[in-house]
Amino acid sequence: MPAKPFVFIDTNIWLYAFLDSGESEKSARARELFQTTEAMLSVQVVNEVCVNLIKKVTAQPVISTSASEEKSCATLRKISRGASRHSK
């Protein structure tokens, strides 16, 4: 089986994958990207995702359709809580 290609995934793709944005096609395509590639990201993207999740997660439900997605969401929630404590 060939290795999955490494792909840099920018902030908006992470957000489509983790938030119910009302754009189900984009959310589905974002989640598919995570299943078919090895996702790479930068510190800047982590920070941007955390800031946006802190702002949006209280207003929108997090999509969780598999155990791996639930683990990813839980990890981002931990990062988000840590970022919010450090920004005060």
Among 74, 82, 68, 1, smallest CA distance to 39 is for 68
End-to-end CA distance of the chain: 47
pTM over 0.75, yes/no? no
Q: Which two tokens stand for residue 86?
A: 């450090």
What are 22-80's pLDDT values in tens digits? 888 999 999 999 899 998 989 999 999 998 888 876 665 555 555 555 666 666 666 66
- What DSSP character marks residue 66? S
- Give the Cα separation of 58 and 37 in Å (integer): 29
Judge whether residue 10 has pLDDT over 90. yes
- Contact between 16 and 26 (Cβ < 8 Å): yes
3-state secondary structure of 41: coil
